[in-house]
Amino acid sequence: MPSFDAVLEPDMVAIKNSVANAQKEIATRFDFKGTAAALELKEKDKQIELLGDSDFQIEQVSQVLVGKLTKQGVTINYLDMSGKLEKIGGDKVRQTYKIKAGIEADLAKKLTGAIKNSKLKVAASVQGDEVRVTGKNRDDLQQAIALLKKDFADQPLKFQNFRD
């Protein structure tokens, strides 16, 4: 029975390269000289930490990071930029961006619900942090992929493990 998996999996190598390039640019830019402007990738925690002297400087560091990520071909939708600014002593501030990896339970429910409501002849089930879609023929699966791409364009879903 044909099937595929819908996953939310960022390219960590590209993210690591982007952060390294952004760190180099921040170190060489004149407007960041002598300031606390910096960013750090914490791979185990799957987050990027931005440091600066003010919220304006954090915004500037964020723009550098976003520019480097787009150059590497990483969509910004992988980053959860909703973390709030924290004061960390003196006049320094920090903001943490979480890297989305794996489909969360509420998104998985939305994905399976959208497939069920579409009346396609496929079945969707949650398998840990991915959604497996199975059907009788390949055309139905391709329609399911098109549906998910259209309905969840804001999510950087990848479709892998396509089996006949």
CATH code, 126: 3.30.70.860
Counted domains in the chain? 2
Q: Are 113 and 65 found together in one domain?
A: no
Question: So what's the pLDDT on residue 26?
Answer: 92
Cα 48 to Cα 5, 79, 100, distances in angstroms: 27, 9, 11
Question: So what's the pLDDT on residue 96?
Answer: 92
Residue 141 structural domain: 3-8+102-163
Which of the listed residues 80, 99, 118 is the one where a domain comes to its end?
Answer: 99
Question: So what's the pLDDT on residue 16?
Answer: 93
Q: Are 109 and 148 found together in one domain?
A: yes
pLDDT 10s digit of each residue in the chain, 164 long?
888 888 888 888 999 999 999 999 999 989 888 888 999 999 888 899 999 998 899 999 999 999 999 999 888 888 888 888 888 888 899 999 999 888 888 888 888 888 888 888 888 888 888 889 888 888 888 888 898 888 888 888 888 887 87
Which of the listed residues 79, 99, 119 is the one where a domain comes to its end?
Answer: 99
Helix 138-151 vs helix 105-117: angle between axes, to the nearest 10 degrees? 120
Q: Are 126 and 158 found together in one domain?
A: yes
Which of the listed residues 52, 80, 99 is the one where a domain comes to its end?
Answer: 99
What's the rounded Cα separation, in Å, for the pair 163 and 99? 29
What token pair was written down for 49?
């930490």
